[in-house]
Amino acid sequence: MSLITAPLTTAQVSLQLSILAHKNKYGDLNEVENNQIMNIPKEVTPYDRRRYELIIKSGVTGTNKPFRAPVYTSYKEVFQALANQGLLGFYKGNLIGLGHQWLTTFWRVGATHNLEYGNYHFYQKSSPLVKSLFVMGTCTLIDIALNPFQLMQSRFILQNRLPNFSLYKSVFHCFKKHIRKPLTFFQGWTTHIPKNLVFALSQINLLKDHPKEGFLLSNMLAQIFSYPFLTVLRRLHCQDTLPGMIPVRYSGCWHATKLIFYEEGFRGLYRGFLAYSIVNLFSTLLILHLTYYSDYSYDLKFD
């Protein structure tokens, strides 16, 4: 299934990380920047020239200016740009994302199973709301522990905007680059708290007489309300002083949420949501199918 959903995930993250220009906040290239680009020696290779231009335009020479690599305003622009890089352009960074998704699912299922069937009498005697919050806290700790994998996925997709440009050549190279500053891998970790809290509170079965339909509805509401925090998380993941990344302009989760809303409105917080919802619809329907199939097989076995 990941062969189908990976291009949609790439498009979703690419749109989340596209910061549109704003007057007096982003602006056009100023005279100093133009002079710097004009003074790049003509004998340098196209790769190095592109790298120097990116360094100047992204503001890493001393000022925090916005990222000015190609910015996408629609799905059409995303798919056209990625198509120019060939088929692999749609899959860069998604192997890491697949590993992150597998580890997240494996740990979450294992943790919730232990809570439900282990010797945790406090949990088992608690109300549904307390149980939900307890599971939310456990899932948040798992998300924080696995934040480095999601961060690397975000950065590999972001660097994919520029053809033939790679800040990170491999996962090993990424670890090696930040080994002296390991906290880099946990940028944006506090965003997992409100994201999972909103998701947990939205996962209330509104249709108790129709559990499957209720699951679909609550899952859809959880995605809608938690998605802005996912956008914030992606941007916090990718802000850095390194060339090709988003310049450091968000001081944290709450500041990023306010600034994105102020500069880009609700549309800024929900960029890429359509692709995200399609991917999650595939996953949700698969879970429902497997659950229904297992329940149906169980009934047949004991009827």
On whether residue 140 sits in a domain, the answer given is: yes
On whether residue 33 sits in a domain, the answer given is: no
Q: What is the mean pLDDT of residues 281-294?
A: 65
On whether residue 21 sits in a domain, the answer given is: yes
- The share of the chain scoring above pLDDT 90, in percent, equals 29
- Alpha-carbon distance of 66 to 63, in angstroms, equals 9
The CATH number assigned to the domain holding 264 equals: 1.50.40.10
pLDDT per residue as tens digits for the range 32-72: 455 555 566 666 666 566 556 555 554 444 444 444 556 78
Look up residue 275 and give its DSSP letter.
Answer: H
Full-model pTM: 0.79
CA dist list (Å): 301 to 291, 294, 295, 298:
15, 11, 10, 5
On whether residue 128 sits in a domain, the answer given is: yes
On whether residue 107 sits in a domain, the answer given is: yes
- Alpha-carbon distance of 253 to 188, in angstroms, equals 7
pLDDT of 37 reads 55
On whether residue 270 sits in a domain, the answer given is: yes
On whether residue 242 sits in a domain, the answer given is: yes
The number of residues making up the chain comes to: 303
What total of structural domains would you count in the chain? 1
On whether residue 58 sits in a domain, the answer given is: no
Contact 275, 5 (CB under 8 A): no
- Alpha-carbon distance of 38 to 276, in angstroms, equals 41
Q: What is the mean pLDDT of residues 210-219?
A: 70
For residue 77, the enclosing domain spans 2-27+66-302
- Alpha-carbon distance of 207 to 199, in angstroms, equals 17
